[in-house]
């Protein structure tokens, strides 16, 4: 390993997905939950780059509503110094990362990570970071290409091109979430990786790319940070300025348009834990394929995921079911159909069947 600059983790905690409803809500998004371990997804993400000289203090970009909870979680795992940038409005990932880039020194290397993914093999992740660092220091924007192991239709794909450094390839093309037939051809061709939304670049490279391809976004983020108020570890970017930023993802706004974009293929036990089925796959199971969590009494069950955060959940004689219970809502569906949670949440929102704040959460 060459003597590289320290890397600043930039952790994006802005999401408020409902794919893990009823446990995840707007006010209690996935990254703040304990799903795979006693630690929350955010804490696991922080832990992945903590305790080594290789990484500097992290920058967390988050929704203002979650500030107290985030600081409590950060402090609970003993991560001392950090910056918490509180987005005045939701503008998707490209502007959020811009805030972090303007907060950092220009030459800082930023490791941008979602706050709610699983990476089982941290050493493999660190090795991939090491592989990318050289080209990143040379000005490239790098992404990590997750080894595709199934014809997934829920992810974007990256077509890998020529090798530009050992274990680093030029991105030939970012492609949208495919249909199942296309996904299978990507898998068969062998030169596609999943886009896991993890990036490595210097602050200066990102800002330069943003200024080139999305100047309105760059100037809004810059002004918001120039006028930001800092209180302790919290940074509050200017609301008016940031509000003027267009809203877009880093993939669409920057990566697909920038010159010199690299991908580092990596196999690291990655999962976005994007559904209850995904959590079932990750979970430790008993001899009958059951994963139960919380106050659960299951008799003669097979291949079930049963989680309770509140009531006693009893099940007898059922198989291949997902049952998720909280103090105010219970979800029951077959395994391998957990994408349908979206239909439940949409229906609740549409029909105002229940108080959204209570059962789903409302967008802020």
Residues that bind a second copy (CB under 8 A): 22, 295, 297, 299, 308, 310-318, 321, 323, 325-334, 337, 340-341, 343-344, 347-348, 353-354, 359
Q: Which of 109, 94, 87 is nearest to 204 (CA)?
A: 109
CB of 295 to a second copy, least distance (A): 7
Alpha-carbon distance of 79 to 65, in angstroms, equals: 21
Tokens 């394929």 locate to: 289
Alpha-carbon distance of 261 to 223, in angstroms, equals: 27
Task: Rank residues 175 and 344 by Cβ distance to a second copy and give the closer one.
Answer: 344
318: number of Cβ within 10 Å: 16
CB of 347 to a second copy, least distance (A): 6
- CA-angle at 219, arms to 217 and 220, nearest 5°: 65
Task: Rank residues 240 and 332 by Cβ distance to a second copy and give the closer one.
Answer: 332
Q: Which two tokens stand for residue 28?
A: 């209690």
Q: Is the dihedral of CA 75, 133, 264, 251 positive or negative?
A: positive
Task: Rank residues 77 and 344 by Cβ distance to a second copy and give the closer one.
Answer: 344
Q: Is the dihedral of CA 17, 22, 27, 28 positive or negative?
A: negative
Task: Rank residues 179 and 351 by Cβ distance to a second copy and give the closer one.
Answer: 351
Q: What is the DSSP letter of 83?
A: E
Q: Is the dihedral of CA 126, 127, 129, 130 positive or negative?
A: positive
CB of 143 to a second copy, least distance (A): 35
Task: Rank residues 230 and 353 by Cβ distance to a second copy and give the closer one.
Answer: 353
CB of 362 to a second copy, least distance (A): 16
CB of 151 to a second copy, least distance (A): 22
Alpha-carbon distance of 335 to 313, in angstroms, equals: 17
CB of 142 to a second copy, least distance (A): 40
Task: Rank residues 64 and 319 by Cβ distance to a second copy and give the closer one.
Answer: 319
């Amino acid at each position: 390993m060459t003597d590289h600059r320290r890397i600043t983790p930039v952790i994006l905690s802005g999401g408020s997905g409902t794919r893990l409803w009823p446990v995840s809500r707007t006010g209690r998004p996935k990254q703040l939950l304990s799903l795979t371990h006693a630690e929350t997804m955010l804490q696991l993400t922080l832990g992945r780059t903590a305790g080594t000289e290789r990484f500097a203090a992290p920058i967390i970009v988050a929704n203002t509503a979650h500030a107290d909870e985030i600081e409590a979680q950060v402090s609970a795992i003993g991560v001392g110094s950090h910056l918490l940038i509180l987005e005045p409005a939701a503008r998707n990932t490209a502007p959020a990362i811009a805030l972090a880039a303007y907060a950092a020194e220009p030459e800082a290397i930023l490791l941008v990570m979602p706050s709610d993914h699983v990476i089982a093999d941290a050493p493999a992740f660190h090795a991939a970071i090491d592989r990318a660092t050289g080209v990143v220091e040379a000005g490239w924007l790098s992404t990590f290409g997750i080894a595709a192991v199934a014809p997934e239709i829920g992810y974007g794909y990256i077509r890998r091109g020529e090798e530009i450094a050992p274990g680093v390839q030029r991105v030939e093309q970012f492609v949208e979430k495919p249909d199942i037939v296309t996904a299978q051809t990507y898998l068969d061709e062998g030169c596609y990786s999943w886009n896991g939304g993890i990036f490595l670049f210097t602050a200066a490279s990102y800002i330069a790319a943003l200024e080139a391809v999305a100047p309105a976004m760059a100037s809004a983020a810059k002004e918001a940070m120039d006028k930001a108020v800092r209180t302790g570890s919290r940074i509050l970017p200017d609301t008016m300025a940031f509000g003027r930023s267009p809203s877009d993802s880093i993939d669409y706004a920057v990566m697909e348009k920038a010159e010199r974009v690299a991908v580092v293929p990596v196999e690291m036990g990655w999962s976005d834990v994007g559904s209850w089925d995904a959590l079932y796959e990750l979970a430790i199971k008993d001899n009958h394929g059951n994963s139960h969590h919380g106050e659960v009494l299951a008799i003669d069950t097979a291949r079930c995921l049963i989680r309770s955060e509140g009531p006693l959940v009893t099940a007898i004689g059922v198989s291949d079911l997902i049952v998720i219970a909280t103090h105010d809502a219970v979800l029951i569906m077959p395994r391998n159909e957990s994408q349908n949670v979206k239909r439940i949440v949409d229906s609740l929102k549409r029909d105002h069947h229940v108080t959204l704040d209570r059962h789903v959460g409302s967008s802020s």
